[in-house]
Structure 1
Amino acid sequence: MLHADPFAIRGLLGPDAAPGRRAITNEHGIVLPAFSDHHVHLHLIDEQGLAPHGIAAALDLGGDPVALARRPREGFPRISYAGAFLTAKDGYPVGRPWAPDAVWREVTDASTHPGVPGGAATAVDEQASCGASVIKVALNRSAGSVFDAETLAVVVACAHERGLPVVAHVEGEGMTRLALDAGVDALAHTPFSERLGIRQTARAAASQVWISTLDIHGDDPDAAENAVANLAAFREAGGRVLYGTDLGNGERSAGIQTAELAALDRAGVRGPALIATLADPWPGTATTHAVATFVPGPPPGTLDEVPAWLGGATVVPEEEIVRDEH
């Protein structure tokens, strides 16, 4: 049995952390809420590794909407998805070797009428009819054309009419501002191609959630520095941060990415705030109440140890968990 101080554990890991054990194996450890990765690409990873390595739910941000709609709903990880990227003519990720034709749709008409070929409403309706929980738009000026302000605003309005938030991939100068002006609800990546000013950051913190994806910039120190600085400022301004890895981008095993957690820690998202990014249920469509996160062994002794310690997490059914009552 672990002799862990529950008050110290909550101070390091948040109010829902508790010592406990697995009833079947009698293994002792720390119990936490179920964790989510808010940015993955299932067609590029082995998703079977997610739950054994700590991820109970995942948000696919760019995949074949028909294939995603046909997925079984049982088991873990629970999956929410955007369906296809919506992009401008010849925009990102059209032509990318990792992005087959099924994972993107070119929107070439700002029409709000259903069934118009290339129309904004047509593209949104297709993703919604396939069960999308969010709509994903690509705003990557460095890799092709992007939506003009009018078309983007129509896409966002169509999504909101259907009760769906909009997530944007922003890359290139001015793309975060374009997303903000159009009412985009979330950014798929912390902005990394430019350093945002105080006013723009405050505006984003008041209206958007940001998905972290800090660790994907390992080969680009300038982008990495921009992303960490932007996220730190966003957090200081009261912004809501979600843990997300862009899993499928690069060679990484499925599951919790301790390097992403360490980068969040460097941005000032530490301890209970770090756990909150993992346990946040956004967009709220993947039910995970039947499971918990379990990290075997003793708890971390300091905040500095938390990111690496979380690498031992796994997903365990709630019925198998016995929490320490003291």
Structure 2
Amino acid sequence: MTHADPFAVRELLGPGAAPGRRALTGEHGTVLPPFTDHHVHLHLLDEHRLAPHGIAAAVDLGGDPVALARRPKQGFPLLSYAGAFLTAPGGYPLGRPWAPAAIAREVTDASTAPGVPGGARTRVDEQAGCGASVIKVALNAAAGPVLDRDTLDAVVSCAHERGLPVVAHVEGERMTRLALDAGIDVLAHTPFSERLGLRLMARAAAAQVWISTLEIHAGDPDAAANAEANLSAFREAGGRILYGTDLGNGDRPAGVQPGELAALDRAGVRGAALIAALADPWPGTEATHAVATFVPGEPPATLDEIPAWLAAATVVPEEEVVRDEH
């Protein structure tokens, strides 16, 4: 086994990367920070397969808040979650075959007073009371009604009062603009139903974080082209990008998704920037130090090799890895 140059590895993959080995087996490879999939739906996948295939933490962006609150806190993946989608009466994702009733709440009143049935604060308080780290709203004009501006503003205000960021599913004409105008912090998907102009893109890059979810459009060339073009422009404008897959949507094995990585690479999120999107601890501020990502074998020699190489990633205890820092 040829030992890799630590300086070359860091130059290609970022400052958190180092050649290393697993102490128990002696297997050589590359040690990286722990990875997060920033958009999953646990009720649609086998979460126990995430860590063996490279995902140490996950963010559930639409699930039953009571079931998520009752989930055991030990073990991996470490989980943050939004709880239920907050949506307009009759809005997305109500009625979808993949969306049981427990994963959505209709907001029927813009009231910011506590305890009002269907009120904005009531809905936010329920998710927060179940341990939500973020609040998710549905702004899908392509699939039904969306929250009116007063109600959306109330939801955002109530979430921000609790210190919780608001993430939105945006789909349909002018929905990205609505999310920006309302102070939405994060987009659950890179916008895919329209190309954004430069002025709107500059606003988004200054005010929002975007979760990638590019691979879900593999069967829709127009949506795929829109999403990759928008993400490329967002990156060029200085926007912060998070790796996320919408895992549970479609028939994909749990773990790191090479197709998502390849799409990010095509959009210009390459090398150290790609690792940063995977290792970003959002919605937290610090990654767990209990585990690391380990990719066995020789490190990649070029940027082009990185997406496929990462498919072999796994999560290992931090004490099991020995880094070669010299």
C-alpha contact 2:61 2:82 (8 A) present in aligned 1: yes
For residues 33-182 of structure 1, the aligned pairs below 5 Å read 33-182=33-182
Q: Secondary structure at the match of 2:142?
A: helix
Q: Sort the Cα spacing of 1:294 and 1:132 in 2 relative to 1 into closer, same or farther, 3 A.
A: same
CA deviation vs aligned residue, 1:49-90 (integer Å, no higher than 9, x gap)? 100000000000000000000011111110000000000000
Q: Which region of structure 1 is more displaced relative to structure 2, 283-292 or 168-177? A: 283-292
Give yes or no for the alignment of 1:211 onto 2:203.
no
Q: Distance in 2 between matches of 1:56 and 1:36?
A: 6
Aligned partner of 2:325 in structure 1 is: 325
Q: Distance in 2 between matches of 1:63 and 1:285?
A: 23
Aligned partner of 1:259 in structure 2 is: 259
Residue identity opposite 1:269 in structure 2:
V
Q: Distance in 2 between matches of 1:120 and 1:97?
A: 26
Structure 2 gap ranges (5+): none
Q: Secondary structure at the match of 1:142?
A: coil
Q: Secondary structure at the match of 2:99?
A: coil
Query: How far 1:150 moved relative to its partner?
Result: 1.1
For residues 147-296 of structure 1, the aligned pairs below 5 Å read 147-284=147-284, 288-296=288-296
Query: How far 1:161 moved relative to its partner?
Result: 0.3
Q: Distance in 2 between matches of 1:113 and 1:286?
A: 33
CA deviation vs aligned residue, 1:26-70 (integer Å, no higher than 9, x gap)? 100000000000000000000011000000000000000000000
Aligned partner of 1:17 in structure 2 is: 17
Residue identity opposite 1:172 in structure 2:
G
C-alpha contact 1:243 1:278 (8 A) present in aligned 2: yes
Residue identity opposite 1:236 in structure 2:
E
Q: Distance in 1 between matches of 2:226 and 2:199?
A: 16
Query: How far 1:5 moved relative to its partner?
Result: 1.1
Q: Secondary structure at the match of 1:98?
A: coil
Query: How far 1:18 moved relative to its partner?
Result: 0.3
**How many matched pairs?**
326
CA deviation vs aligned residue, 1:229-251 (integer Å, no higher than 9, x gap)? 00000000000000000000000
Query: How far 1:287 moved relative to its partner?
Result: 5.4
Q: Distance in 2 between matches of 1:73 and 1:89?
A: 33
Q: Secondary structure at the match of 1:118?
A: coil
Q: Secondary structure at the match of 1:143?
A: coil
RMSD: 0.9
Work out the percentage of aligned pairs sharing the same amino acid.
80
Q: Secondary structure at the match of 1:80?
A: strand
C-alpha contact 1:193 1:223 (8 A) present in aligned 2: yes
Residue identity opposite 1:188 in structure 2:
A
CA deviation vs aligned residue, 1:253-287 (integer Å, no higher than 9, x gap)? 00000000000000000000000000000000785
Query: How far 1:16 moved relative to its partner?
Result: 1.1
TM-score, structure 2 as length reference: 0.99
C-alpha contact 1:21 1:323 (8 A) present in aligned 2: yes
Aligned partner of 1:299 in structure 2 is: 299
Structure 1 gap ranges (5+): none
Q: Distance in 1 between matches of 2:263 and 2:126?
A: 36
Query: How far 1:6 moved relative to its partner?
Result: 1.1
Q: Distance in 2 between matches of 1:101 and 1:285?
A: 32
Q: Sort the Cα spacing of 1:6 and 1:284 in 2 relative to 1 into closer, same or farther, 3 A.
A: same
Q: Distance in 1 between matches of 2:208 and 2:2?
A: 40
Q: Which region of structure 1 is more displaced relative to structure 2, 281-290 or 159-168? A: 281-290
C-alpha contact 1:57 1:286 (8 A) present in aligned 2: no
TM-score, structure 1 as length reference: 0.99
Q: Which region of structure 1 is more displaced relative to structure 2, 1-10 or 108-117? A: 1-10
Tell me which stretches of 4 or more aligned residues in structure 1 moved more than 6 Å. Answer: none
Residue identity opposite 1:297 in structure 2:
G
